[in-house]
Amino acid sequence: MATQKISNFLTLFAPPRPMAAFPSNLPVLTVAITGAAGQIGYSLAPLIAQGLMFGPHQKVALRLLDLGTAQDALSGVRMELLDCALPLLHSVDITADPHVAFTGADAAVLCGAFPRRPGMERQDLLLTNAGIFKQQGRVIRDAAAAHCRVLVVGNPANTNALILATSGGLNPAHVSALTRLDHNRAVGLIAARLGPTGAAHRQAVIWGNHSATQVPDVESLSSAAAPLSADDAAYFHGEFIPQVQQRGAEVMKLRGLSSALSAAKAIVDHMRDWILGSEGRVVSMAVPSAGNPYGVPAGLIYSFPVTCAAGVWHFAPGAVLTEDIKRRMDASTAELVEERTLAGL
């Protein structure tokens, strides 16, 4: 057992295994959503059933997983989904059994976790949530389709994804974590500051952990954009960074709950771009760090700029990193290494 665990973990240090092609002709695409009775699940399921994640011609079967105590709520969600009379929605199954949820799944979005409440640090969550992802990694290995693409949303998302991939011995290149919400937050703030003309060709990148150490960056891949004015440069090197880093905490303070509708939209963006392709656009995804061109050590799930086509992502090359960005990236790396140690990996 211990030998198996070590060999699974070592795969995270090796260059990614080839990604199994994602089939383009599935009559019905089965998507498992965990924590589906929660707030993100409630916003996300209808977006998928409307065709926003897998396209306007792809039928989808939803498998909604939540705890036994949440089955009534899940029944209500199922009724509402059926009441939407959505032509792409093939079926909705609800369950408290991960085997039922993941059997034959083509894609899985893992939101099921205990969320951070105001005043809690994300790392406080790590030990509580680790057990969930250990178990689900093994069930996905045993029951899901070999090409299944997995997105971990539940926090701490990067390390939960690492736990999942390791415990299941999954192809690490099929496992990712959500930093697209941070990316979208950065894109929104760039547009608000610079307007459409100033924002043209300005590439947002999120490096590192989905946490307060993440590195929002508007310059490293923006060589084609107009130069920033001194005021704008001061904003993007200063206030902008904690604004993005703390956006989730800010929403939580105001709503008393963590972001849900923007998280659901970001999940759709992430999976759509991964599976249908990002059409040359660079987006941020937290993926295994092995083989990256930016000097981040292997063995982490770290957010990078990537492009995607047909279920396969590639590191976007060519980012020119300043010393400040490198220093910040190192701090995020150190946090992820610490989380990995705390998780016992």
x/- track of binding to ligand LMR for residues 291-310 (CB under 6 A): --------------------
Q: According to CB under 6 A, which residues from 136 to 165 bind ligand LMR?
A: 155
Q: Is 58 in the site for ligand NAD (CB under 6 A)?
A: no
Q: How far is the CB of 42 from ligand NAD (least distance, A)?
A: 8
Query: Contact at 8 Å (CB) between 340 and 159?
Result: yes
What is the Cα–Cα distance from 30 to 129, expressed in whole angstroms?
Answer: 25
Longest dimension (CA), the chain: 58
Catalytic site includes residue 174: no
Q: Is 194 in the site for ligand LMR (CB under 6 A)?
A: no
- Taking alpha carbons only, the member of 186, 222, 216 closest to residue 325 is 216
In terms of CB distance, is 145 or 175 closer to ligand LMR? 175
Which range of residues in 30-38, 139-147, 226-234, 251-259 is near ligand LMR by CB under 6 A? 251-259
Between the alpha carbon of residue 195 and those of residues 188, 189, 190, 232, 284, the distances in Å are 10, 10, 8, 12, 21
Q: Is 115 in the site for ligand LMR (CB under 6 A)?
A: yes
Q: Is 116 in the site for ligand LMR (CB under 6 A)?
A: yes
In terms of CB distance, is 87 or 118 closer to ligand NAD? 118
Among residues 57, 147, 201, 210, which one is catalytic? Answer: 210
What is the Cα–Cα distance from 148 to 108, expressed in whole angstroms?
Answer: 7
What is the Cα–Cα distance from 74 to 35, expressed in whole angstroms?
Answer: 9
Query: Contact at 8 Å (CB) between 290 and 15?
Result: yes
With CB under 5 to 8 Å by kind, the binding choice for 269 among ligand NAD, ligand LMR, none is: none
What is the Cα–Cα distance from 207 to 219, expressed in whole angstroms?
Answer: 12
Q: Is 148 in the site for ligand NAD (CB under 6 A)?
A: no
Of the candidate residues 8, 11, 30, 155, the single one contacting ligand NAD (CB under 6 A): 155
Q: CA neighbours within 13 Å on the CB side: how many for 231? A: 2
Query: Contact at 8 Å (CB) between 178 and 270?
Result: yes
With CB under 5 to 8 Å by kind, the binding choice for 145 among ligand NAD, ligand LMR, none is: none
Residues of this chain that bind ligand NAD (CB under 6 A): 34-35, 37-41, 65-67, 70, 111-116, 132, 153-155, 157, 178, 181, 210, 258-260, 263
- Positions marked active-site: 210
